[in-house]
Chains A and B, each alone.
Chain A
Amino acid sequence: MIPLLLILIPLLSGLAVFLLKDSPSTKSLAFVSSLATLVLSLMAVFTKGALTYDAAWLPGLGSRFSLLQDGMSKMLSLLTAISFPVVFAATYKNVYQRSSAFYGLMLLTQAGLLGVFLASDALLFYFFWELALIPVYFLCSIWGGEKRIAVTFKFFVYTFIGSLLMLVGLLYVYAQTADHSFAMQSFYHANLPRHAQGAVFALFFIAFAIKMPIFPFHTWQPDAYEQSPTAVTMILSGVMVKMGIFAVIRWLLPMVPQAVHGHSMFVVILSVTGMIYASLIAIRQDDIKRLIAYSSIAHIGLMCAAIFVQNQIGLEGVMIQMFNHGINVIGLWIVADVIEQQLGTRKFSELGGLAQKAPVLAILFVIMALANVALPLTNAFVGEFLMFNGLFQFNGWVAAIAGISIILAAVYTLNMIQKIFYGNTVEKTLVAVEVSGNVQWVLSILVLVVLVMGVYPQPMIELTKDTVSAIFANR
């Protein structure tokens, strides 16, 4: 029942908020709804074993409304459930025109995301995959920056082409299943012939690679992150990119194992190229949002590479890092949003010496940024260590090249800290004041998560263990 409620609560409250008249209470209603989802997802985490829900949906097509919440789904639904209240709280002061529509669409996005993470029926998965996209399209296009319309449309067309190719793949595998069903297990056991595996792999992988995004499909991402309203950017980069990684682990790996094996080197090289490439570009950025966007591409690239090396330790690293990257990147966005709201600029060249004006913010931000570099004792260290370990077992050279990105990450992150928070105060930062209480609270909670997960990551490894071992048991 919990998986169903996890989707229904944001869906119904989203529709309700969407239809309400604009008033301050819509904000509170959205916040309460997201808290309810959080409680439910925590309940799921503390329940032993996988949770399922199953109901008839399209009998003629062999598709059922079936949900599965195993370790990976529990972890990702927890991430989704944490993100939304955090985002709502951190941007509580932001005023949106037509706020009911804004919060309604946000909650609908959450429903779509949770659906993607919980669906265990391929057609249902496809439905939620799209349901997560449509509200985001409207959110970015209505409340975004100056170039929002063109940029968001690019993002939409990219992902839509990907999902259509995935649809073709779904149809093909469906036609090959023994019992003509979209059920996950039928898809796993579809027994595709070897030559077909390559085609199916390509169709699915392009869709997921666009969503992650993996070089060279990443060009929509920095623009979209920059132009979207920050609340949406947080969701995009914190949770939505995990859809691609999740989908690879949930659908691609077990469905076409031979093709994954055959293409592993190719994908790993693509990912590592993307990591280095994005890190180099990040160094040259003068805009906080764009810098975080490129750094995000680098991190996602590492996760994708670690999946395709196909060893247990790499996959465990990915599981932990999916959660931690979400927490860290949302923390960075919150600070970026605070700076932009307060000072009206995101350019490093117009900032400096903010630490003198806002010491608390500076401390919290520095911890978040160090987690972004994956310093030991922060949460990201654990994940990155495991992933690099996996990469090294796969191929030492590749791991060595990928390792350069750690140094590059330190370069751009420390550079950012220095330019924003240290040095002399400039004209714009003279008026800066300490951030409000709610942002301090939210950031403190995130920092707490960063430190706790950095010191004691074992529960997260335990939580996702069943998914990891199921994947390696199948081959």
Chain B
Amino acid sequence: MNAIIVSALLGVVMMFSGILLKNKSSLKYIAIGGLLLLLIANLFQTYGVYTIVVNSHDLLRFQKFGLFFNSIAITATLIYVILSGKDIENVGNYPAEYFALIFFVLCGVSILCGFNSLLMLFLGIEILSIPLYILTGADKRNLKSNEASLKYFLMGAFTAGIMLMGIALIYGATGSFGITSPVFINTPTPGSAPKASFLEIAGVLLLFVAMCFKVSAAPFHFWTPDVYDGAPSVFTSFMATVVKAAGFFAFIRLMEGQSAILGPTWKILLSFVIIATLLIGNITAVFQQSVKRMLAYSSIAQAGFMLFALYSFNDVAKEGILLYAAAYSLATIGIFAVLIKLKDYTLDGFNGLAKTEPVLALTATICLLSLSGIPLTAGFFAKYYMLASVVKTGSGLWLVIVAVLFAAVSVYYYFRVIQAMYFREGVSETTEITSGFKTGLIFVAALIVLIGVLPSLLLNYFYF
């Protein structure tokens, strides 16, 4: 509850600080302070120091898993604002509003971390999405940004309709909005065949489709490349990391109880989606010339790996999704922070970056290595946990083999950027780079390597 209230308040504070403050550049520091406050508020609830009590009539239920995930999301946002805060200010004329919208997105994330009712799920998704529609179109004079925003909004609205339809059907079948109510789970008792009504199954499938859209799993991914490409790069970074991870968290929380209704069909359905996502994300990314667009497709490919958590639903998967969210967010925020500084977003724009800006090149390389899942980086353990969770279920070894082959494909497009930076001649043009920014990047890279060597550092907080 703490995080929901504090983030909403901070959003309002940010909005007014835009009017009260003349100096644009101090906004960033207010936002950083606000995020720290939010993190502390969330940690207070996690460790039971102080919790704001609001009777939600069991619409919200906070567990350690969700609260811990929320902390990761807030920390990722904090790192994101520290690295790219300056670029957020430069997107348009109303920086205060951008920061406010980011806080509102975090409010949505906080709701998704604790929802216990389909209504709250819907509210969380919408609170998360609506600020994003605005952020996507923040670069008002850019036609592509406008197009992306409209596309995102229309598709998002459509999905909201599908989701509501699903919720309505489920309510009709069970008479409840709860995700953990006994009627809803419909656990088959030994001796009697499970009986799920047609309405309920249809409802669950519609919810599944809607959530697939939100996490850009194929074949519901079509909006992703255009929106990620059209949106101002700073916001793409935010969308592809914190927002996406939150979507996954909600997806897991929702389906954990629900997938039982579909019986064995669930795994078949999910295998199809996983393979389609890996295939489309990886293969299409290979052909991109623009690094920004390549990262959009790579985010689809990464989603394919995160979907493994829904395949296995065990403890390893839960630890894995936390690690994946952290590793993937860190690496993507890092690589986008570098990308924003470049004048040319194509692969050629990276040529010779190692000579002109060695620190940027080295940190970007570590981020890319992490995204491709090379050991000694956080990305390795993220993928490791996902694969291990499936192997532990005892079935689906073939799925794991398919996935690692696609991981090998992903090396191709991630390493093309490394090749451009280190091995190709050219003068990569960048905007002015401060030493503070470099320090931030080195910190991110160090964190990636640290988690890559000792993932227990991060996961231990989950248990203690």
Is B388 close to A, CB under 8 A?
Answer: yes
Which residues 380-421 of B sit at the A interface, judged by CB distance below 8 A? Answer: 384, 387-388, 391-392, 394, 397, 400-401, 404-405, 407-408, 411-412, 415, 419
Which residues of chain A in 174-232 are interfacial with respect to chain B, using CB atoms and an 8 Å cutoff?
A: 174-175, 199
CB of A164 within 8 Å of the partner chain: yes
Contact between chains at B375 and A130 (CB < 8 Å): yes
* Residue-wise interface mask of A (433-463) relative to B, using a CB-CB cutoff of 8 A (1 in contact, 0 not): 0000000000000000000000000000000
Tell me the bound Cα distance from A229 to B387 in angstroms: 37
A199–B394 Cα distance when bound, in Å, is: 14
CB pair A58–B387 under 8 Å, yes or no, is no
B residues near A167, Cβ cutoff 8 Å: 384, 387, 404
8 A Cβ contacts from A19-76 to B: 57-60
Give complex CA distance A160, B424 in Å: 22
A8 to B419 Cα, complex, angstroms: 29
* B residues less than 8 Å from A156 (CB atoms): 411, 415
Q: Are A171 and B422 in contact (CB under 8 A)?
A: no
Q: Check A251 for interface membership: any CB of B closer than 8 A.
A: no
| Neighbouring A residues of B384 by C-beta, 8 Å | 167, 171
> In the complex the two chains form, is A164's CB within 8 Å of B408's CB?
yes
* Chain A interface, >50% SS class: helix
Point out the residues of chain B lying under 8 angstroms from A250, CB to CB: none
Known: A142-B422, A164-B404, A171-B388. A131 touches B375 (CB 8 A): yes
Q: Does B131 contact A (CB under 8 A)?
A: no
A153 at the interface (CB under 8 A from B): yes
Compute how far the CA of A149 lies from the CA of B407 in the bound complex, rounded to whole angstroms: 20
Measured CB to CB, the nearest residue on chain B to A127 is B375
A96 within 8 A of B: no
Q: Does B199 contact A (CB under 8 A)?
A: no
Q: Would you call A161 an interface residue if the criterion is a C-beta within 8 Å of the partner chain's C-beta atoms?
A: yes
Whether A58 and B456, one on each chain, are in contact in the complex, defined by CB atoms closer than 8 angstroms, is: yes
B423, B455, B456: the one contacting A142 at CB < 8 Å is B423
A148 contacts the other chain (CB 8 A): yes
Which A residues touch B394, using CB under 8 A?
Answer: 175
Residue interface mask A163-174, B partner, CB < 8 A = 1: 011011001101
**A172 and B423 form a contact (CB under 8 A):** no
A157 touches B408 (CB 8 A): yes
A154 to B157 Cα, complex, angstroms = 45
Contacts of B456 in A (CB 8 A): 58-60
| Known A131-B376, A168-B404: A141·B422 in contact at CB below 8 Å | yes
* A153 / chain B contacts, CB cutoff of 8 Å: 415, 419
Q: Is A126 an interface residue (CB 8 A)?
A: yes
Task: Indicate if B201 sits at the interface (CB-CB under 8 A).
Answer: no
Chain A residue nearest to B389 (CB atoms) is A171
Beyond A156-B415, A164-B408, A171-B391, whether A148 also contacts B423 by CB under 8 A is yes
CA gap between A21 and B137 in the complex, in Å: 46
Chain B neighbourhood of A130, CB < 8 A: 374-376
Contact digits for A333-362, partner B, Cβ 8 Å, 1 yes 0 no = 000000000000000000000000000000
In the complex, the answer to whether B392 meets A175 with C-beta atoms within 8 Å is: yes
A172 CA / B424 CA spacing, docked (Å): 40
Interface flag for A432 (CB, 8 Å): no
Q: Is B36 an interface residue (CB 8 A)?
A: no
Residues of A118-140 contacting chain B, CB below 8 A: 126-127, 130-131, 134, 138
CA A374 to CA B394, docked complex, whole Å: 49
Q: Answer yes or no: B369 CB below 8 A from chain A CBs.
A: yes
Shortest Cβ distance from A203 into B: residue: B401
Distance A390 CA – B419 CA, assembled complex (angstroms) = 46
Residues in B with CB closer than 8 Å to A59 are 456
Closest beta carbon of chain B to A193's beta carbon, Å: 12
Known: A59-B456, A127-B375, A134-B369. A149 touches B411 (CB 8 A): no
Complexed CA–CA distance, A206 and B376 (Å): 23
Chain B minimum-CB-distance residue to A134: B374
Is B459 engaged at the interface, CB distance under 8 Å to the other chain? yes
In the complex, residue of chain A having the shortest beta-carbon distance to the beta carbon of B404: A164
Evaluate whether A172 and B397 lie within 8 angstroms (CB atoms) in the complex, with A60-B456, A134-B369 already known.
yes
**A149 and B423 contact, Cβ closer than 8 Å, known pairs A60-B459, A165-B404:** yes
Name the CB-closest residue of A to B459: A60
- B454 at interface by CB-CB < 8 Å: yes
- Whether the Cβ atoms of A157 and B411 lie closer than 8 Å is yes
Please determine whether A126 and B375 come into contact, CB atoms closer than 8 angstroms.
yes
CB-CB nearest in chain A for B407: A164
Task: Name the A residues within 8 Å of B408 (CB-CB).
Answer: 157, 160-161, 164
Closest to B397 in A: A172
B242 to chain A, nearest CB (A): 26
A199 — which chain B residues lie within 8 A by C-beta?
397
Residues of B within 8 A of A58 (CB): 454-456
Which residues of B448-464 are within 8 A (CB) of A? 454-456, 459
Beyond A58-B454, A60-B459, A160-B408, whether A168 also contacts B387 by CB under 8 A is yes
The answer to whether B400 touches A171, judged by C-beta atoms less than 8 angstroms apart, is yes
Is A165 a contact partner of B401 (Cβ separation < 8 A)?
yes
Shortest Cβ distance from residue B222 to the other chain A in the assembled complex, whole angstroms: 29
Question: In the assembly, what is the distance between CA of A60 and CA of B404, in Å?
Answer: 23
B375 to chain A: closest residue by CB: A130
User: Chain A nearest CB: distance from B370 CB in Å?
Assistant: 12
Q: Which of B391, B419, B459 has the most CB of A within 10 A?
A: B391
A73 to chain B, nearest CB (A): 21
Cα(A156)–Cα(B384), bound, Å: 20
Chain A, residues 106-118, CB within 8 Å of chain B (1/0): the string is: 0000000000000
Contact of B405 among A138, A141, A161 (CB under 8 A): A161
When distances are taken between beta carbons in the complex, the residues of chain B under 8 Å from A141 are: 419, 422-423
Given contacts A59-B456, A175-B392, contact A168 B375 (CB under 8 A): no
Known: A142-B422, A168-B391, A172-B391. 10 other contacts (CB 8 A): A57-B454, A126-B375, A131-B375, A149-B423, A153-B415, A165-B401, A167-B404, A171-B400, A175-B391, A175-B394
Residues of A within 8 A of B (CB): 57-60, 126-127, 130-131, 134, 138, 141-142, 148-149, 153, 156-157, 160-161, 164-165, 167-168, 171-172, 174-175, 199
What are 8 pairs between A and B in contact, CB < 8 Å? A127-B375, A130-B374, A157-B408, A164-B404, A164-B408, A167-B404, A168-B400, A168-B401
